[in-house]
Amino acid sequence: MDTKEIFSAVGNFGFPMVLSWYLLLRMEQRLDKLTSCLNELSKALMQNTNGH
């Protein structure tokens, strides 16, 4: 998305809505990574408890 499209979106939808959309997209990527890390941790813990 280039600068012209961003300013057009702000004009059409308003700054709070565009900012919320942007932050939600960024948060979604971080939540996906966090979910992946938690799944790996869960697997490691299960292997550790099964080994003892």
- Contact residues for 10 (Cβ-Cβ < 8 A; gap 6+): 18
1-50 pLDDT, tens digit per residue, is: 678 887 788 788 788 888 888 898 889 989 999 999 999 999 999 998 88
Between CA 3 and CA 9, with CA 6 as vertex, the angle to 5 degrees is 150
Q: Is it the case that residue 51 has pLDDT exceeding 80? A: no
Determine the pLDDT at residue 49. 87
Q: Is it the case that residue 52 has pLDDT exceeding 70? A: no
Determine the pLDDT at residue 41. 94
